[in-house]
């Protein structure tokens, strides 16, 4: 720290955290100044989650020192961290849906006298905090579970401010937000930092780091490999190189040349679900990757769910290999060779406390059953085959899925369909790289390309237009529930797609 630089609000030095068989943090340093947005970057598994849990008091470091507001502190638990002025807003928001907004804001430090809650005081104080965040329209008495994702996030911020937090950690705060909601989030962050509150901001979206961040610290393999880089002027390829040790050109695998005229594996005809989408028709050929681009709420995810049978359309047909699939029946879809990796993999696709093997084979247990007994040896052999093919790390079939990074959890979902559905014809992917770092994304892109090379059709949705253009062979642009354009990805650029998404004008 130079003589003119302010004393940091937070200083972490040499933080080490060891778990059985894993050194998650190996001497991490982090300095955060009052009133700044300090961005924390790193691949999944680099140590970001462990570091913020140390900062939140959820983990105790094995070595190292933490100073806050000029004093050495020991954050013995989440309550101690809150009392010190450190609040953490996790990606999976920890609100209690059945409680009111006010109850959530003051959860754990209720406004009470002699054991009786002062509900009126709590509601007035909650209204003041929501107004400070620019959302005075959120009723303090409304059930938190009835709020949209953006509203829940505001309530979590109000809870942090109710503790007089001087440092707020935000873990992937924009992951579930639409574009206009992200702009409002950034407005709130700027107002907080203008009042002297420091923000540690974690995101995999480098364009967000550029827009909202002041400085950047990069973690790799449990170590801080760069501290305090200027967020707005540090080149993207340098950040990616620090995170991965590789150059940015690795991201998208080459598109192979078409091999003949592959057969059509999926045909969608006139599919409609009032309020979500109307008159959707398209096809996917074997070995082809078709991407849907559109805003959150455009109907793109609902289209995937209707194709897979998770939603029952009001009209239209879905055909696999020329034969109709019963609408609204996921079992029929699976039997016909469809597999799906949903957007919310943790809540919708994975048994988090079960093993890798249990998650991989859950869709195809009949293959290993004989006379009511499971052939565990054959099951483990198939799982190890998928672990090797998809490079799932660590390569341990008995490891609980909850301990894996986001990228490796997504690979487990893909492995399920490859192992359990040997007749896989179409793989549907909804936000396949959500919450996945740059390096793991490259690996997933290679896996998806490899599946297509085996003749499997792929239908995917992504909120990131460059991802759709870089990975897909053909792109469908969805706006307000309708496909406004269909064409080769190579003939499009990001500006053209964004124009169609926003204005609905086709090329």
The answer to pTM > 0.85 is: no
Number of helices followed by number of strands (H, E) in the chain: 17, 24
Asked whether 268 and 253 are in contact (CB, 8 A), the reply is no
pLDDT band for position 310 (50/70/90)?
very high
Percent above pLDDT 90 for the chain: 47
DSSP H/E element including 483: strand 482-488
Residue-wise pLDDT for 133-170, tens only, equals: 888 889 999 999 888 877 888 898 888 888 888 999 99
Predicted pLDDT at 2: 52
Select the CATH number that applies to the domain covering 263-332+466-507 from these four: 1.25.40.80, 3.40.710.10, 3.30.565.10, 3.40.50.300.
3.40.50.300
Predicted pLDDT at 89: 86
7 vs 476, more confident: 476
Predicted pLDDT at 149: 77
Residue-wise pLDDT for 78-136, tens only, equals: 999 989 999 998 876 678 889 999 999 988 777 766 566 678 888 899 999 898 888 88
Residue-wise pLDDT for 436-478, tens only, equals: 766 677 888 888 998 899 899 999 998 888 889 999 999 999 9
| Helix/strand/coil percent split, the chain, to 5 | 35, 25, 35
Residue the block writes with tokens 């190189």 = 241
Across 186-208, average pLDDT: 89
pLDDT band for position 4 (50/70/90)?
low
Contacts of 15 (CB under 8 A, 6+ apart): 25, 27, 28, 29, 30, 51, 54, 61, 63, 64, 66
pLDDT band for position 504 (50/70/90)?
very low
pLDDT band for position 506 (50/70/90)?
very low
Predicted pLDDT at 492: 93
Across 42-67, average pLDDT: 90
- The radius of gyration computed from the CA coordinates of the chain, to the nearest angstrom, equals 24
Architecture of domain 10-250 in CATH? 3-Layer(aba) Sandwich (3.40)
Measured at the CA of 412, the angle between CA 438 and CA 404, to 5 degrees, comes to 65
Lowest mean pLDDT among 107-116, 190-199, 255-264, 305-314: 107-116
User: Which span out of 219-228, 230-239, 277-286 was modeled with the highest average pLDDT?
Assistant: 277-286
Predicted pLDDT at 249: 42
Compute CA distances 495 → 4, 96, 216, whole Å: 43, 40, 28
Across 269-293, average pLDDT: 96
78 vs 367, more confident: 78
- CA 311, 312, 318, 321 dihedral sign is positive
Q: If you average pLDDT over every residue of the chain, what do you get?
A: 87
Predicted pLDDT at 317: 97
Predicted pLDDT at 113: 65
Predicted pLDDT at 114: 58
> Does 59 score more than 90 pLDDT?
yes
Across 430-439, average pLDDT: 78
List 169's β-bridge partners, or say none: 88, 200
Predicted pLDDT at 507: 39
DSSP H/E element including 418: helix 406-420
Q: Alpha helix locations (H) across 283-405?
A: 300-308, 330-335, 345-348, 356-361, 376-390
In the chain, where the domains are located: 10-250, 263-332+466-507
Asked whether 470 and 463 are in contact (CB, 8 A), the reply is no
Across 403-421, average pLDDT: 82
Across 415-425, average pLDDT: 78
């Amino acid at each position: 720290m130079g003589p003119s630089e302010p004393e940091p609000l937070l200083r972490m030095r040499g933080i080490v955290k060891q778990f059985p068989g894993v050194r998650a943090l190996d001497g991490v340093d982090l300095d955060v100044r009052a009133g700044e947005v300090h961005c924390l970057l790193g691949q999944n598994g680099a140590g970001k989650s462990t570091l913020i849990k140390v900062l939140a008091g959820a983990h105790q470091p094995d070595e190292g020192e933490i100073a806050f507001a000029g004093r050495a502190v020991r954050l013995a638990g989440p309550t101690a961290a809150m009392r010190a002025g450190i609040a953490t807003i996790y990606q999976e928001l920890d609100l209690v849906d059945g409680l009111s907004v006010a109850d959530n804001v003051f959860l754990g430090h209720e406004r009470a006298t002699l054991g009786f809650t002062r509900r009126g005081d709590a509601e007035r104080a909650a209204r003041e905090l929501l107004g400070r965040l620019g959302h005075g329209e959120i009723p303090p008495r409304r059930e938190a579970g009835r709020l949209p994702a953006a509203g829940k996030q505001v309530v979590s911020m109000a809870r942090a401010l109710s503790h007089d937090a001087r440092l707020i950690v935000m873990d992937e705060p924009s992951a579930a937000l639409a574009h206009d909601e992200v702009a409002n989030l950034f407005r709130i962050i700027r107002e907080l930092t203008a009042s002297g509150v420091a923000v540690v901001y974690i995101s995999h979206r480098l364009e967000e780091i550029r827009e909202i961040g002041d400085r950047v610290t990069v973690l790799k393999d449990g170590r801080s490999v760069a501290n305090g880089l200027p967020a707005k002027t540090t080149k993207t390829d340098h950040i990616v190189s620090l995170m991965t040790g590789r150059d940015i050109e690795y991201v998208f695998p080459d598109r192979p040349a078409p091999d003949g005229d592959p057969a059509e594996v999926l045909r969608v005809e006139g599919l409609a679900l009032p309020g979500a989408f109307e008159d959707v028709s398209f096809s996917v050929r074997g070995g082809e990757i078709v991407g849907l681009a559109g805003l959150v709420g455009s109907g793109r995810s609902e289209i995937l769910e209707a194709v897979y049978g998770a939603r029952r359309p009001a009209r239209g047909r879905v055909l696999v290999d020329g034969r109709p699939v019963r609408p609204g029946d996921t079992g029929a879809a699976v039997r016909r060779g469809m597999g799906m990796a949903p957007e919310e993999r943790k809540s919708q696709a994975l048994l988090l406390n079960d093993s890798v093997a249990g998650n991989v084979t859950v869709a195809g247990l009949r293959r290993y059953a004989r006379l009511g007994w499971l052939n565990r040896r054959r099951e483990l052999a198939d799982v190890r085959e998928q672990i090797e093919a998809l490079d799932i790390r660590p390569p341990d079939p008995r490891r609980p899925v909850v301990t894996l990074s986001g990228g490796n959890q997504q690979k487990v979902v893909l492995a399920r369909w490859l192992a359990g559905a040997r007749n896989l014809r179409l793989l549907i992917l909804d936000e396949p790289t959500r919450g996945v770092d740059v390096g793991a994304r490259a690996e997933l892109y290679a896996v998806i390309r490899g599946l297509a090379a085996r003749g499997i059709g792929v239908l995917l949705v992504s909120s990131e237009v460059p991802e759709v253009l870089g990975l897909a062979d053909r792109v469908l642009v969805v706006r307000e529930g309708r496909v406004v354009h269909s064409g080769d990805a190579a003939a499009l650029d990001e500006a053209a797609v964004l124009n169609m998404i926003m204005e609905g004008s086709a090329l």
